Amino acid sequence: MAPVGIIGVGSYVPPRKMSNEDWAQIVDTSDEWITTKTGMKNRRIADSNVCTSDLAVKACKVALENSGLEASDIDLLILATSSPDVPMSSTAGIVQEKLGCTDCGAFDINAVCAGWVHALDVGSRFAGTKGYRNVLVVGSEVYSRILNWEDRSTCVLFGDGAGAVVLSEVPREKGIIGSWLMSDGSGSNVIEIPAGGVRVPIPSEEFKEGMQYFHMDGRAVWNFAIEAFPQAVLGVLERFGRTLDEVDLIIPHQANINIIEAGMQNLGLPMDKTYTNLHKYGNTAGASIPIAMHEAFEEGFLKEGDLVVTVAFGGGLAWGANLIQF
Ligand SMILES: CC(C)(COP(=O)(O)OP(=O)(O)OC[C@H]1O[C@@H](n2cnc3c(N)ncnc32)[C@H](O)[C@@H]1OP(=O)(O)O)[C@@H](O)C(=O)NCCC(=O)NCCS
């Protein structure tokens, strides 16, 4: 079987910027606190009439254009999101309709901030197989609408955006080599939206307490993430018989500059072996890696021939990595 790889990458972020100073007008925070604790300076916020599917469609169009394919060439569409347009049906189906991929399957994957590495792994297993020649994998999030804008410990950390890749057969020396995924469901409440599912359904008294919004134990996530980051990178390299010194670039989930620095330090790698853009967009959850990948490619940080690890960690708890030969 011919290898499967990324033949086009694209991203889209909404135009409206929200700076640390803007947040300081709304909650008790400061540019200094946010910058020191996270490295973030700005994030993008979708207008109130814009949904996760709208951002996804825009990112997909760029990825399709860069791949040279049309929407009608897509056989399967996989969307990583934890901020869907609606709880049901799938946002992937809405994207399919808006994009005009009339003859393909479509489904969502929810592994929160690790959604992208899961979706890419699943997509790479379909692409190039009988009936699924070209697969569109997209990560898209509108976290600004699931956050509690009165909770300073979470609201300043996230932003909206989308990124996408087209997967198809590539020449033998390239392709997605494989992935390493892991879950620890005992931490499922470390990052959660407690209400709005079947455990605490709508309508419910708990909604008055803000349980329909995103909740996070930031310190627990920190402790998890600084271990998960290097574990996933080393896990995928070991699984496919490759070594750290062969890696040209690590594209991590853009959660926090301090987590990325700790992860890189733990691996014994300098920061110039990674790419970060979280100062511009904050944490865009399942969209952060493909947005970073697109920008790294556009800016020349990511080049043809590079061996790349993408690594993500987040709610679930879920974490993982993909190993890609560009
Ligand atoms: C969220 C995070 C930056 C907080 O940093 P921290 O050093 O753990 O900070 P703490 O939670 O101990 O809070 C320190 C103080 O800052 C305050 N604080 C919280 N958010 C604040 C904000 N936006 N502005 C100002 N102060 C804030 C807290 O209330 C606390 O005050 P107190 O000491 O008076 O109680 C850090 O824990 C982190 O990055 N965790 C990982 C989060 C993440 O990446 N999540 C997504 C994963 S996919």
104 catalytic residue (yes or no): no
What's the pLDDT score for residue 2? Answer: 85
Q: How far, in Å, is the centroid of ligand 1 from the Cα of 151? A: 11
Protein residue whose Cα sits closest to atom 9 of ligand 1? 219
Torsion of CA 101, 68, 84, 88, to 10 degrees: 20
Q: How far, in Å, is the centroid of ligand 1 from the Cα of 153? A: 6
- Tell me, yes or no, whether 222 and 277 share the same domain: yes
- Tell me, yes or no, whether 167 and 183 share the same domain: no
DSSP assignment of 107-133, as one string? EEE--GGGHHHHHHHHHHHHTTBTTBS
Q: Considering its fold, how many domains does the chain have in total?
A: 2
Q: How far, in Å, is the centroid of ligand 1 from the Cα of 218? A: 6
Protein residue whose Cα sits closest to atom 42 of ligand 1? 218
Q: Which of 154, 172, 190 is the last residue of a domain?
A: 172
- Tell me, yes or no, whether 15 and 122 share the same domain: yes
Q: Choose the residue to mutate in 27, 34, 222 for probing ligand 1, maximizing ligand atoms within 8 Å of C-beta.
A: 222
What's the pLDDT score for residue 202? Answer: 84
User: Can you tell me whether residue 257 is helix, strand or coil?
Assistant: helix
113 catalytic residue (yes or no): yes
Per-10-residue mean pLDDT of the chain, 326 residues long, equals 93 98 98 98 98 98 98 97 97 97 95 98 95 96 97 98 97 94 98 94 83 95 97 98 97 98 97 98 98 97 96 98 97
| Residue appearing with tokens 């950390």 | 157
Protein residue whose Cα sits closest to atom 47 of ligand 1? 314
- Tell me, yes or no, whether 145 and 180 share the same domain: no
Catalytic residue among 51, 101, 104, 113: 113
- Tell me, yes or no, whether 122 and 168 share the same domain: yes
The answer to whether the CB of 11 falls within 8 A of the CB of 166 is no
Number of other CB atoms surrounding residue 90 within 10 Å: 19
HSE at residue 101, side-chain half, CA atoms within 13 A, is 25
Q: Which of 172, 205, 221 is the last residue of a domain?
A: 172
- Tell me, yes or no, whether 232 and 289 share the same domain: yes
Distance CA 193, CA 58 (A): 27
Spell out a b/e string for 213-248, using b for 16 or more CB atoms within 10 Å of the CB, else e.
Answer: bbbbeeeebbebbbebbbbbbbbbbeeeebeeeebe
From first CA to last CA, the distance across the chain in angstroms is 18
What's the pLDDT score for residue 161? Answer: 98
Nearest 5 degrees, angle CA 51-CA 290-CA 279?
85
What's the pLDDT score for residue 206? Answer: 79
- Tell me, yes or no, whether 18 and 157 share the same domain: yes
Q: How far, in Å, is the centroid of ligand 1 from the Cα of 5? A: 38
Element of type H or E holding 179: strand 175-183
Distance CA 287, CA 43 (A): 13
Q: Which residues pair with 189 in a beta bridge?
A: none
The answer to whether the CB of 289 falls within 8 A of the CB of 255 is no
* 193 burial via Cβ count (<10 Å: 0-12, 13-18, 19+): middle
Distance CA 34, CA 23 (A): 10
Q: How far, in Å, is the centroid of ligand 1 from the Cα of 229? A: 19
- Tell me, yes or no, whether 168 and 196 share the same domain: no
What lies within 8 Å, CB to CB, of 171 at 6+ separation is 3
- Tell me, yes or no, whether 113 and 233 share the same domain: no
Q: How far, in Å, is the centroid of ligand 1 from the Cα of 217? A: 9
Protein residue whose Cα sits closest to atom 35 of ligand 1? 153
- Tell me, yes or no, whether 213 and 295 share the same domain: yes
CATH number, domain of 185, equals 3.40.47.10
What's the pLDDT score for residue 87? Answer: 94
Protein residue whose Cα sits closest to atom 6 of ligand 1? 219
Catalytic residue among 51, 60, 110, 253: 253
The answer to whether the CB of 10 falls within 8 A of the CB of 63 is yes
| Residue appearing with tokens 């825009």 | 58
Q: Which of 172, 194, 223 is the last residue of a domain?
A: 172
Report CA torsion sign: 102, 162, 170, 124: negative
Distance CA 44, CA 299 (A): 20
What's the pLDDT score for residue 200? Answer: 92
- Tell me, yes or no, whether 195 and 152 share the same domain: no
- Tell me, yes or no, whether 157 and 193 share the same domain: no
Question: For the chain, what is the largest distance between any 2 Cα atoms, rounded to a whole number of angstroms?
Answer: 57
Cα separations in angstroms, 161 against 182, 265, 269: 25, 28, 28
Residues of the domain holding 241 = 176-325
Q: Choose the residue to mutate in 21, 113, 118, 153 for probing ligand 1, maximizing ligand atoms within 8 Å of C-beta.
A: 153
Q: Which atom of ligand 1 is nearest to the CA of 313?
A: 48
Q: Which of 217, 232, 258 is nearest to 310 (CA)?
A: 232
Q: Which of 67, 48, 60 is nearest to 137 (CA)?
A: 60
Q: Which atom of ligand 1 is nearest to the CA of 153?
A: 20
Please list every protein residue whose CB sits less than 6 Å from any atom of ligand 1: 29, 33, 37-38, 113, 152-153, 156, 216, 218-219, 221-222, 225, 255-256, 259, 283, 314
253 catalytic residue (yes or no): yes
Q: How far is CA 260 from the centre of its chain?
A: 15
